[in-house]
Structure 1
Amino acid sequence: MQAFLSFLGRLRDAGRDLAPIMAVVAIFQFGVLQRTPPDMMAILAGLVIVAVGLALFLQGLEVGIFPLGESLADQFARKGSVFWLLLFGFLVGFATTAAEPSLIAIADRAEVISEGRLDALGLRMTVALSVGAALGIGILRILLGHPIHYYIITGYLLVLVATYFAPQEIVGLAYDSGGVTTSTVTVPLVAALGVGLASSIKGRSPLIDGFGLIAFASLLPMIFVQVYGILVYALAEPASAGLAAADPAPGGSPAALSHLGVMVVLQGLLGVFRDTLPIILVILGAQYLVIRHPLARLRKVTGGFGMVILGLYAFILGLDLGLFPLGESMALQLTESAGRTAIYLFAFLVGFATTMAEPSLIAIAEKAEEVSQGGIRQLVLRVAVAIGVGAGITLGCHRIMAGDPIHYYIMAGYAAVIGLTFFAPRYLVPIAYDSGGVTTSTVTVPLVAALGLGLAKNIEGRDPLIDGFGLIAFASLFPMITVLGYGWLQETLLRRRKEQAT
Structure 2
Amino acid sequence: MPSQVKDLVHALLHALRNLLPIIIVVVGFQALLLREWPEGGLGMAIGLGIVAVGVALFLQGLELSIFPVGKRLANQFARRGSMPLLMAFGFAIGFSAVVAEPALIAVAEQAYEISDGRIDALTLRLIVAGSVGLVMALGVFRVILGHPLHWYMIVGYILVVTVTFFAPEEIVGLAYDSGGVTTNIVTVPLIAALGIGLASSIRGRNPLLDGFGLVALAVMVPMISVQLYGILVYADPGEVTNGAALVAAGSDTEAPSGLVTMILDLFGMLRDVLPIILVILFFQYAVIRRPLASPLKVGVGFALVIVGLYAFVVGLKLGLFPIGQRMAEQLIGFDTWLWVYLFAFAIGFATTMAEPALIAVGQQAEEAAAGKIQGNVIRILVAVGVAIGITIGVHRIISGDSIHHYIISGYVLVIALTALAPRYIVALAFDLGGVTTSEVTVPLVTALGIGLASQIDGRNVLIDGFGLIAFASIFPIVTVMSYAILMERVAHWREKQP
What interval of TM-score do these two structures reach, taking the shorter chain for normalisation?
over 0.9
The offset of 1:142, in angstroms, is: 0.8
SS at match of 1:234: coil
The counterpart of 2:433, out of the listed 432, 436, 439, is 436
**CA distance in structure 1 between the partners assigned to 2:184 and 2:239 by the alignment:** 31
The offset of 1:423, in angstroms, is: 2.4
SS at match of 1:247: helix
Aligned to 1:204: 205
Q: Which amino acid in 2 is paired with 1:46?
A: G
Does residue 311 of structure 1 match 2:312? no
Per mean C-alpha deviation after superposition, the further-off stretch among 236-245 and 327-336 is: 236-245
CA deviation vs aligned residue, 1:304-352 (integer Å, no higher than 9, x gap)? 1000000000001100000000000000111112521111111001000
Aligned to 2:384: 387
Whether contact under 8 Å (2:165, 2:404) holds in the other structure is no
Whether contact under 8 Å (2:164, 2:408) holds in the other structure is no
Aligned to 1:116: 117
**CA distance in structure 1 between the partners assigned to 2:370 and 2:152 by the alignment:** 27
Does residue 421 of structure 1 match 2:418? yes
The offset of 1:289, in angstroms, is: 2.1
Whether contact under 8 Å (2:450, 2:465) holds in the other structure is yes
CA deviation vs aligned residue, 1:208-259 (integer Å, no higher than 9, x gap)? 000010000000000010111122223697999996665369xx977xxxx9
Aligned to 1:445: 442
**CA distance in structure 1 between the partners assigned to 2:323 and 2:284 by the alignment:** 42
1:367–1:329 distance in 2 versus 1, CA, 3 Å: same
Does residue 170 of structure 1 match 2:177? no
Per mean C-alpha deviation after superposition, the further-off stretch among 280-289 and 451-460 is: 280-289
**CA distance in structure 2 between the partners assigned to 1:458 and 1:243 by the alignment:** 13
Whether contact under 8 Å (1:117, 1:237) holds in the other structure is no
Whether contact under 8 Å (2:157, 2:415) holds in the other structure is no
Does residue 183 of structure 1 match 2:184? yes
Does residue 247 of structure 1 match 2:245? no
Per mean C-alpha deviation after superposition, the further-off stretch among 294-303 and 314-323 is: 294-303
The offset of 1:292, in angstroms, is: 2.2
Per mean C-alpha deviation after superposition, the further-off stretch among 3-12 and 421-430 is: 421-430
RMSD: 1.8
Whether contact under 8 Å (1:33, 1:338) holds in the other structure is no
**CA distance in structure 1 between the partners assigned to 2:254 and 2:24 by the alignment:** 30
CA deviation vs aligned residue, 1:155-201 (integer Å, no higher than 9, x gap)? 11111222222221111100111110000110000010000000011
Q: Which amino acid in 2 is paired with 1:427?
A: Y
Does residue 54 of structure 1 match 2:51? no
**CA distance in structure 1 between the partners assigned to 2:239 and 2:266 by the alignment:** 27
SS at match of 1:275: helix
How many residues in Structure 1 have an aligned counterpart in Structure 2? 495
Aligned pairs (5 A) from 1:42-81:
42-81=43-82
Aligned to 1:322: 319
The counterpart of 2:469, out of the listed 467, 472, 494, is 472
SS at match of 2:420: coil
Q: Which amino acid in 2 is paired with 1:44?
A: A
Structure 2 residue runs of 5 or longer lacking an equivalent are: none
CA deviation vs aligned residue, 1:94-121 (integer Å, no higher than 9, x gap)? 0000110000000000000000011111
Q: Which amino acid in 2 is paired with 1:276?
A: V
TM-score (norm 2): 0.96
**CA distance in structure 2 between the partners assigned to 1:16 and 1:337 by the alignment:** 31
- Superposition misfits of 4+ residues, deviation over 3 angstroms: 235-246
Aligned to 1:361: 358
Aligned to 1:274: 271
Whether contact under 8 Å (1:116, 1:239) holds in the other structure is no
Aligned pairs (5 A) from 1:84-233:
84-233=85-234
Does residue 298 of structure 1 match 2:299? no
CA deviation vs aligned residue, 1:40-87 (integer Å, no higher than 9, x gap)? 111011000000000000000011110010011112222221111111
CA deviation vs aligned residue, 1:427-446 (integer Å, no higher than 9, x gap)? 11111010110000110000
TM-score (norm 1): 0.96
CA deviation vs aligned residue, 1:254-281 (integer Å, no higher than 9, x gap)? 7xxxx96222211111111111111111
Whether contact under 8 Å (1:14, 1:55) holds in the other structure is yes
1:44–1:379 distance in 2 versus 1, CA, 3 Å: same
Q: Which amino acid in 2 is paired with 1:319?
A: L
Aligned to 2:369: 372
SS at match of 1:115: coil
Q: Which amino acid in 2 is paired with 1:110?
A: A
Does residue 21 of structure 1 match 2:48? no
Whether contact under 8 Å (2:115, 2:240) holds in the other structure is no
SS at match of 1:305: helix
Q: Percent identity between the aligned chains?
A: 56
